[in-house]
Structure 1
Amino acid sequence: MSLPNIPDVTPRITLKREEVIHLLLTSVAMEEMSMSHIMNTEVEKIQQLLEREDISLDDMLRLNQSMERMLRNIISKQILLQFKLDHILELEGKSSVGDGGNTIEEGSVSIADDD
């Protein structure tokens, strides 16, 4: 039995600076939408519990604890998204940034896989 031949692929993606900024802003917006869906699901859980006739104090306390954990996670994610947005705004104002194998130059961005 022989091993499969895997072609040597070196991906090279070239994007304009404006395209990169738009993609980054889109990723922030999509994460915000995801969090809004999670919060909506939590609201639906509360509504379902309140519609029940046999609500116990333990059920309410468990739901409260679950909601508190979820809100803490959402707040943490919001803080990280704010940092990401701040970095995007900084990126918009800079003429060039180098980071590892990724380079961002005025007008275009080249991302090469160094592995």
Structure 2
Amino acid sequence: MTMPKVPKREQEESLTDLLESIALEETALAHFMNAEAEKVQAVAKMMEEEDIDMKEVLEFQDSVSKSMRTPIKKEILLQFKLEDVLEAKKELEK
């Protein structure tokens, strides 16, 4: 198996690419969180209509809580990545 070919880039271009990748990951996380929010709204409507019992609501809440752990962790890592990229960009401008 051969090594992938990585295009040569200047440091400024690489930092811009990293910023773009952060933005794309943030967009993906936003879509995921929006989908979870829509599920919560659907369950809230079911609760208003009394179409769901409390045990099911609690199970659902636990499921949403577990589902949101990974994106929250990812958000923290993206924040660190963003801070590092912005600091590197600032160093280049000196």
Instruction: Give the Cα separation in 1 of the matches to 2:44 and 2:65.
Output: 17
Name the CA shift for 1:12/1:63 in 2 (closer, same or farther; >3 Å): closer
Q: Structure 1 49/86 Cα, relative in aligned 2: closer, same or farther at 3 Å? A: same
Q: Which residue of 1 aligns with 2:18?
A: 24
Aligned residue pairs total 89
Residue 102 of structure 1 corresponds to: none
Residues of 1 paired with 2:30 and 2:86: CA distance? 23
- 1:87 corresponds to 2:81: no
Deviations 1:58-109 (A, max 9, x none): 21111111121223222211110111112212322446xxxxxxxxxxxxxx
Unaligned runs of 5+ in 2: none
2:11 partner amino acid: R
- The amino acid across from 1:86 in the alignment is E
Normalized against structure 1, the TM-score is what?
0.65
5+ residue gaps, structure 1: 1-5, 96-115
Q: Percent identity of the aligned residues?
A: 36
Change (3 A) 1:10 1:25: closer
**Residue 68 (structure 2) pairs with residue 71 (structure 1):** yes
* Larger helix percent: 2
Does 1:42 pair with 2:44?
no
SS in 2 for 1:11: coil
**1:17 Cα deviation after fit:** 2.2
Normalized per residue, which structure has more strand?
1
